[in-house]
Amino acid sequence: MKNTTFKTIDIILIISLTIIGLFFVLYNYSVSDNPQESLTAIVKINGETVQTVQLNSGETPQSIHIKEDVILERESGRIRFAESDCPDKICVNTGWLSKSGQIAVCLPRRVSVEIRGADEAGFDAWAY
């Protein structure tokens, strides 16, 4: 009788721990998957990181001069090429970047902007 009671408590404990564990897994997943979580824009010229820009929601719009004729625009949780003197304007036409993994490139000016999540990039590699 005593033995049976102990086993029941044991099972309840195991189930409780499993539920708590699942809760944390789901919580972490939802946080990582949330595009509104703080993101970082990595700005590169010739493949060299020249600037990292925090993209937090609620941020006021700001122009960022990367090179003489390349201007990025950042606002609440997103970033884009606002101006570039390149002939193709592919970078400007790419529009806003707001999700981890998105990238805009200006080939003629060798400028790239890549969005990374606040956490490690390993999650993105797995997700894509």
Binding residues vs Zn ion (CB under 5 A): 84, 86, 91, 106
* Minimum distance from residue 39 beta carbon to Zn ion (Å): 22
**Smallest distance from Zn ion to CB 111, Å:** 7
- What does DSSP say about strands 48-55 and 111-117: parallel, antiparallel, or unpaired? unpaired
Nearest distance in Å: CB 103, Zn ion? 13
Looking at the Cβ atoms of 84 and 98, the one nearer to Zn ion is 84
For 65, the enclosing helix (H) or strand (E) is strand 62-67
Q: Which is nearer to Zn ion, 79 or 91 (CB)?
A: 91
Burial of 116 (0-12, 13-18, 19+ CB in 10 A): middle
The whole-angstrom separation of Cα 124 and Cα 54 is 18
Nearer to Zn ion by Cβ, of 84 and 112: the residue is 84
